[in-house]
Amino acid sequence: MSPTDTTLLVIDVQQGLADNTPFHGGHRNNPQIENTIPALLTLFRTRNLPIFHVKHNSRDPASTLHPSHPGNAIFPFAAPSPTRPIDEPLYTKSVHSAFIGTSLEADLRARGITRLFVCGFTSNMCVNTTVRMAENLGFEVFVVEDACATFDRVGPDGVLRRAEDIHAYALTDLHGEFCTVIKASDVQGLLGSSEA
């Protein structure tokens, strides 16, 4: 039987974070995210497990994630299922943590959910902040590294860091301290048998 204390948390999989988006840094790592996230969604839907979706409404009018821009929309491949409104709620936020200004924590606790599988954007910002807070709140967290992505970024020293490196550093900081970093191929085994 699938665990009833488990959910998939899908963070900010929005069209304004498409590969090569100049506003967010240009080059993005993990191009396979457009395959791994749908595969995770299918797995959780097949198991009849809840999926919690999060969307970022930027307060910066120039951001591609501002509600006035088309990029604010969720990618079709990651959109909540219209046939599962109770099991696929959508939360909107305007800060890095999905727990701030939303009912996410209360809703997870009301459903008895203690274990989170996390995917989405960006590895070093909203995913990172949400994961740290989730662990601080007592949730068991798994980050699916090949279902997360980020962008190139220039440091305070003026040096350009590649998205692949930023992604690796962000998850290195999280692993073993705030979560367990896994691959998408590991998720099914961690969920256990789907048979009663």
User: Following DSSP, what letter does each residue of 105-138 receive, concatenated?
Assistant: HHHHHHTT--EEEEEEE-TTTHHHHHHHHHHHTT
Cβ contact 149:29 at 8 Å:
yes
pLDDT at position 196 is 41
Q: What is the pLDDT of residue 35?
A: 96
Of 14-23, 73-82, 120-129, 148-157, give the lowest mean pLDDT range: 14-23
Which of residues 108 and 195 earns the better pLDDT score? 108
pLDDT in tens, 35-72: 999 999 999 999 999 999 999 999 999 899 999 999 99
Give residue 2's pLDDT. Answer: 57
Question: How far apart are alpha carbons 166 and 143 in whole angstroms?
Answer: 15
pLDDT at residue 187, as a whole number: 97
Domain 6-186 CATH superfamily: Isochorismatase-like (3.40.50.850)
Can you give the pLDDT at residue 26? Answer: 79
From the CB of residue 64, how many other CB atoms can be counted at a distance below 10 Å?
A: 19
Residue 168 has pLDDT above 80, yes or no: yes
pLDDT tens by residue, 88-138: 999 999 999 999 999 999 999 999 999 999 999 999 999 999 999 999 999
CB distance 186 to 179 below 8 Å: no
The span from the CA of 189 to the CA of 123, in Å, is 23
Residue-wise pLDDT tens digits, 151-165: 999 999 999 999 999
Domain ranges of the chain: 6-186
Query: What is the rounded CA–CA span in Å between residue 134 and residue 67?
Result: 26
Q: Report in angstroms the alpha-carbon separations of 45 from 2, 42, 51, 184.
A: 11, 5, 8, 15
Distance, CA of 161 to CA of 37 (rounded, Å): 25
